[in-house]
Structure 1
Amino acid sequence: MKTAKLIELERKSADLRAACRDALHAIGEGIESNTVDEQRKLEREHDKLMNEWELVQLDIADERANATDAEAREARRPGASGTAFGTDDGSASYGDSYDWTDKRGNPVRVVGRGGSISERRHTGPSVGDLIRAKIAGPRNEAEERALSEGTDSAGGYTVPTPLASDFIDLMRARSVAIRAGAMTVPMDSASLSMARLASDPTVAWRAENAAIAEGDPTFERVLFEAKTIAGKVTLSRELADDSINIGRMIQTALAGAMAVELDKAAIYGDGTSDAPTGVWHTSGINAVSMGTNGAAFTAGYDEILDAILELKNDNAADPTAMIANPRTEIALAKLKDADSNPLTVPGLVSRIPLLSTTSAPVDETEGTATNASSIVLGDFTQLMIGMRQQLEIRVFDHTMTSNGQLTVLAWMRADTQLAQPKSFAKLTGIIPA
């Protein structure tokens, strides 16, 4: 349901988009007749409008997440209809920020999907602006000052923390794991230790003077160790020189590609090749198989219900999402009854959002099957993605002099951990019909 604020923001977004198109048209119309100064003025006006439009997009994403969280809290309210498990009052909304502590008692800021790791909204040049400035030179004092502060002796550029946080938020907005509810832990160092509960304490009724049941809770250490994720974009010099929006194009491409890789690691990473270990490969999560050699969805949703039962048996919180490959999503949508009508989805399943991502593999091995896939479901607020708030960008030109190309390389560091492995289940062995 759209809120009044969201409707207002979407209207403002449409107006700014139209203004950006008009500004871009004015630049094109004036290429032959305008002076260099006039063209630069038009470009600055266009960039200002684009900055305003991008800020509105972040506001829209925040408002949509807040509205979704409000609906989720209402659905989990005691006595509300459509509650999948228990009577969670929604106080632990995954759209909020939480203060955890590390092993020394220092506060650790944990941010939900509707929050932002930025302490404040950045209003200066964007990452895209600085990429363009590294390629073609700064257009104004703000870009020149930012580059002079961040450029190192090797020609790289370390993005200031507030601006890097905005780029990370852009990545997070494109991440399926974050949309599912995963929490972001900003890391101020290369490693960060937190604690998680491995087993519950023993509690039992007792008679007067009888012995109290023994059984202390077991705690484990969750250790984030920042691992490097990198991406690059190669383009021609002509494109870099002639395209006024090249910086934003590169920023969007890098953010999108890094978000896909982050999803792949957070959900399916196996810990090899210096990548994080994701939900699927974490020891202790629940597992249900479609069959010894895998099987297709043909009869209904029984296996998904079996996975939900595993979570219920572990007293896990409501699943916030199911994540699968688009192949699986479409296979479920095609299920029909004996009269060829779309199959009714059980309430326990229909209440859980199904999110799809091409990061989900379709070449897993299940017995003799080598084309299997999985559904990962659970309370994704228990998935924590640690992110170093440091982003570095380098522009290379000498390595591709022969074909006149430039390469923009960006890298940052991240890791993933589960606060409660029993909050997740995987349904494996899903093969095509």
Structure 2
Amino acid sequence: MTRRTLPAPFDDMCERYGIKPSSYTLIRELKQKREQRSELGRQIIQRAGSKLTGAQEREIDRLLEERDDLDEMVTQAEERLEGVRNQPFEGQGGRGREDAPGLTFQTAEGRTIRGVRHGESFAAAVHKPRAPRPGADGDEQDLSVGRALLGFLRGDHDLMERELRAQVVASDPSGGFFVTDSLASMFIDKARSQSVISQAGAITVPLTGGETRILRVVTDPTAAWKAEGAGLNETEIKFGAVVMYPKVLGCIAELSEELVQDGANAADVIQTTLAAAVANQLDRSFWRGISNGSGDSDVPGRNTFTGVLDDPDVNTVDMAGAAPSDYDEWIDAMQLVEDANGMANVRIDSPRTAGQLAKLKETGTGAYLKAPEAVAALRHLRTTQTPVTLGAGNDESVSVVGNFSTAYVILGMRTQFSIQVSNQAGDAFENLTRKVRIWGRADMVIGRPSHLSLIQAIGPTS
């Protein structure tokens, strides 16, 4: 893949983004800046829907340029670090670089599957690099669902030449095309990069069969000292099992004929919009769960996933409809995770709750109230998928505190996606638009819910 050329030297670019090149948190800060650009672009697309104004398109173009610059800066910063640290320090357990292999799971059926964390490539984890086909050029990372779709919509085979040569798209008789596993996995990575749940530490695994069983920790064992001649105290560890069944996940987007034919950045906009829609649904499902009908209801998990709002094993702190006045409930939530032998490292709020906490002021001085050190140390994420219409008055929100990695929040993804296009569905013909439907299959489980705490019934500020 061709590397991006930065418009200025690395150190100058760092100063442009307000980062010290010598900072020991350089890579983390660059990644945060990069994610901010993606989030801002996602918010613009969410607000505009499928009809972007010219000003919005230009702003998205700027954000995409900055995101790509920051992505290259992350790569260069990691290469600098690798030059200093050619191998992991002794005692690190072989972790080394951030792109090292992630977790490996052994399923109940004896299959080994690899999980990836945020920032690691799902595509690389599930697909071995392939030898270039005759006449093919470039790298698989240069392939794009957005460009393939745009080429299909325009009937422009030259535009999607890379995808056709790589044979990663195939015609669908129903009107559209199938995306092969390798290109679908890259699209999944695009969606994961925008998912707050993935950013929080959820692990993504491939779903290859009809079901995948994951162990769920119900209670931990307790160790004890043994007196001479005495037996060890017997303690109980309880495991349950949760089963991941692939469920249909998809969306429909409406594209104007003007965007399809004339949009200079149409391929990026299309891919970002579709990926954002999938990411939003993954985030929403973490809170509210998944329900795909009532068929096979005798098999638990076949059609449903219980989100954190209804999971009885997730810790809860109840605010009883009161608005935040301090951070006590967040500290209580952290303590509940620690009581379960976990260590909270992230919190997720709705934008409303984040704003309420940011506006808290000290009594007397009127100065803004600083979060306690323990709360301030948590990574703070926000998503509009966090509900704010709960409770009897339909005005309560929630917040989650925990450790998504040790809670084993797992996203299971099938590596097949299908895309159909119609200019007849709904009012598309009348409005001179195209309806695009993309769908695949996925599921979600929480393997250790006691490492998450839900702060519930957060009321609005009166």
TM-score bucket (shorter structure) = 0.7 to 0.9
Give the CA RMSD over aligned residues: 3.5
User: 1:272 Cα shift?
Assistant: 6.5
Which 10-residue stretch deviates more, 391-400 or 211-220?
211-220
Native 8 Å contact 2:400 2:453 kept in 1: yes
Residue matched to 2:191 = 171
Q: Secondary structure at the match of 2:360?
A: coil
* Distance in 2 between residues matched to 1:288 and 1:89, nearest whole Å: 36
Uncovered stretches (5+) of structure 1, i.e. residues with no partner: 14-50, 68-77, 79-87
Q: Distance in 1 between matches of 2:66 and 2:353?
A: 35
Residue type of the alignment partner of 2:358? A
Q: Does 1:349 align with 2:375?
A: yes
1:125–1:142 CA contact under 8 A, matched in 2: yes
The residue matched to 1:344 in structure 2 has which SS?
Answer: coil
Give the letter aligned to residue 375 of structure 1: S
Letter of the structure 2 residue corresponding to residue 113 of structure 1: H
Aligned to 1:19: none
The one-letter amino acid of 2:354's match is: E
C-alpha contact (below 8 Å) 1:391/1:412 kept by paired residues: yes
Residue equivalent to 2:265: 245
TM, length-normalised to structure 1: 0.75
Aligned to 1:81: none
Q: 2:242 aligned with 1:211, yes or no?
A: no
Shift of 1:95: 7.5
Q: Identify unmatched segments of 5+ residues in structure 2.
A: 1-18, 35-63, 81-90, 130-138, 294-302
* Residue number in structure 1 paired with 2:8: none
Q: CA deviation at 1:252?
A: 1.0
2:158 counterpart residue number: 139
Counterpart position of 1:370: 394
Partner of 2:40: none
Partner letter of residue 405 of structure 1?
T
Percent identity for Structure 1 against Structure 2: 32
Alignment of 1:40-59 (within 5 A): none
1:127 aligns with 2:145: yes
**Structure 2 equivalent of residue 328 of structure 1:** 353
Larger Rg: 1
1:99 counterpart = 2:104: yes
Shift of 1:153: 2.3
Partner residue, 1:297: 324
TM-score using structure 2 length = 0.71
Deviations 1:80-131 (A, max 9, x none): xxxxxxxx99979997611111113321111011211012562453111110
CA distance in 2, matches of 1:327, 1:64: 35
102-111 or 211-220, which deviates more: 211-220
Q: Does the 8 A contact of 2:360 with 2:369 survive in 1? A: yes
Change (3 A) 1:123 1:185: closer
* Matched pairs, number: 368
Cα distance in 2, alignment partners of residues 90 and 311 from structure 1: 27
The question of whether the paired residues in 1 share the 8 Å contact of 2:27 and 2:78 is answered with: no
One-letter amino acid of the counterpart of residue 336, structure 1: K
Going from structure 1 to structure 2, the CA distance change for 1:332 and 1:325 (only over 3 Å counts) comes to same
**Equivalent of 1:386, from 400, 406, 412?**
412
Separation of aligned partners in 2, 1:142 and 1:93: 31
Of the candidates 422, 441, 444, which is equivalent to residue 413 of structure 1? Answer: 441
Q: Distance in 2 between matches of 1:363 and 1:92?
A: 44
The reply to whether residue 116 of structure 1 matches residue 142 of structure 2 is no
Q: Does 2:272 match 1:255?
A: no
| Gap change, CA 1:301 and 1:252, over 3 Å in 2 | same
Which of 303, 307, 310 matches 1:278?
307
Contact kept in structure 1, 2:330 and 2:375, CA below 8 Å: yes
Structure 1 pair 390–349 and aligned structure 2 pair: CA distance change class (3 A): same
